[in-house]
């Protein structure tokens, strides 16, 4: 009997540990005529359970290894079971030997409409389109996991990106926007295709090198700052062939404030060349680059 109990405890523990995300899903219904409707609270609760209890990869993550992330859904309209919204997706990961969390992903998706009936079951199947709500949330869950892995090992996120691409391909048969190249040039279609394209490998190399440098910051901050600088300047190669690339913007949407912080204090290094390069690579953030301390 004791062996049976232990066996089931092991199974139960393994199931809990298999979940990979520590995600806060918020549903903002302030733009609705009656923001106190129970359906919005039910939707928020259901999405939190869906994201955090789904085993996305079957890999065992300890509690402290789960990826901290958030999905902030702003409802814009609601009629019957039809919703239009935006979704802001953010993720971060801890920096080695510190209490600091570095942002990895920060993206605002405005092509988010879906149907939802209160208390409906949310279940993910990679090979079938069940609802746009499930597809969008699942898509970004895999992107979060893939980008997190990319910060620890170059191109380690490929399997997760490939699953996200499958979700996008299956969802293209629906009438929902954001899954096709005809819906614009900065949507889910291009996000996942660019992440997997060799053309944009330099972004993923920078993502890896940058975070490896951050992980070394406590041990040798001056050397680490040099490595952060070099990882950013390396984006020049991509910028020369693909100026203002979508993935470049996605990268700086997450990292620009942190980059300013890194080069606004601590040991001094020569960053004149960094500022010049960043003004070319990410001119939208030129106001921040002007805040560097030389």
Q: What's the total number of domains in the chain? A: 2
Digit-by-digit pLDDT tens for the chain (294 residues) are: 444 443 333 333 434 456 999 999 999 999 988 767 899 999 999 999 999 999 999 888 999 899 999 999 999 999 999 999 999 999 999 999 999 999 999 999 999 999 999 999 999 999 999 999 999 999 999 999 999 999 999 999 999 999 999 999 999 999 899 999 999 889 999 999 999 999 999 999 999 999 999 999 999 999 999 999 999 999 999 999 999 999 999 999 999 999 999 999 889 999 999 999 999 999 999 999 999 987
Of the residues 180, 196, 212, the one at which a domain ends? 196
- Determine contact, residues 266/214, Cβ cutoff 8 Å: no
Examine residue 77 and state whether it is found in any structural domain, yes or no. Answer: yes
Same domain, 53 and 190: yes
Check whether residue 43 and residue 91 sit in a common domain. Answer: yes
Check whether residue 37 and residue 119 sit in a common domain: yes
Report the Cα 210 to chain-centroid distance in Å: 16
Edge-to-edge strands of the sheet including 21-28?
21-28, 67-79, 82-94, 101-115
User: Taking the model in full, what pTM does it have?
Assistant: 0.93
* Pairing status of strand 82-94 against strand 67-79: antiparallel
Identify whether residues 102 and 217 lie together within a single domain.
no
One domain, residues 185 and 73: yes
In b/e form, how buried is each residue of 266-281, taking b as 16+ CB within 10 angstroms? eeeeebeebeebbeeb
Q: Of 149, 169, 196, which closes a domain?
A: 196
Task: Tell me if 118 sits within 8 A of 38, measured CB to CB.
Answer: yes
**Domain carrying residue 264:** 202-289
For strand 67-79 and strand 21-28, is the pairing parallel, antiparallel, or unpaired? parallel
For residues 40 and 116, state if they share a domain.
Answer: yes
Give yes or no: residues 192 and 257 share one domain.
Answer: no
> Does residue 5 form part of some domain?
no
Nearest 5°: CA angle at 39, between 36 and 40?
65
Buried/exposed 247-259: b ≥16 CB within 10 Å, e otherwise: bbebbbbbbbeeb
- The answer to the question of residue 24 being in a domain is yes
**Intra-chain end-to-end CA distance of the chain, in Å:** 69
Going through 32-116 in order, the beta strands assigned E by DSSP cover: 67-79, 82-94, 101-115
Residue 55 lies in a domain: yes
């Amino acid at each position: 009997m004791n062996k049976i109990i232990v066996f089931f405890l092991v199974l139960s523990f393994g199931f809990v540990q298999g979940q990979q995300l520590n995600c806060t899903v918020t549903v903002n219904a302030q733009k609705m005529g009656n923001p106190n409707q129970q359906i919005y609270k039910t939707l928020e609760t259901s999405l939190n359970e869906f994201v955090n209890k789904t085993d996305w990869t079957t890999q065992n993550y300890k509690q402290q290894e789960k990826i901290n992330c958030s999905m902030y859904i702003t409802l814009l309209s609601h009629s019957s079971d039809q919703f239009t919204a935006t979704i802001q997706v953010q993720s971060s990961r801890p920096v080695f030997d510190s209490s600091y969390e570095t942002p990895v992903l920060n993206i605002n998706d405005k092509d988010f409409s879906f149907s939802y009936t209160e208390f409906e079951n949310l279940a993910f199947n990679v090979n079938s389109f069940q609802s746009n709500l499930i597809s969008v949330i699942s898509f970004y869950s895999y992107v979060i996991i893939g980008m997190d892995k990319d910060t620890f090992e170059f191109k380690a996120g490929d399997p997760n990106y490939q699953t996200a691409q499958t979700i996008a391909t299956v969802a293209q048969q629906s009438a929902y926007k954001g899954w096709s190249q005809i819906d614009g040039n900065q949507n889910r279609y291009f996000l996942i295709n660019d992440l997997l394209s060799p053309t944009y490998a330099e972004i993923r190399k920078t993502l890896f090198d940058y975070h490896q440098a951050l992980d070394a910051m406590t041990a040798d901050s001056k050397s680490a700052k040099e490595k952060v600088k070099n990882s950013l300047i390396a984006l020049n190669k991509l910028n020369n062939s693909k100026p203002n690339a979508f993935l470049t913007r996605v990268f700086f949407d997450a990292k620009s404030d942190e980059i300013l912080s890194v080069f606004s204090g601590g040991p001094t290094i020569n960053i004149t060349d960094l500022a010049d390069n960043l003004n070319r690579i990410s001119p939208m953030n030129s106001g921040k680059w002007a805040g560097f301390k030389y």
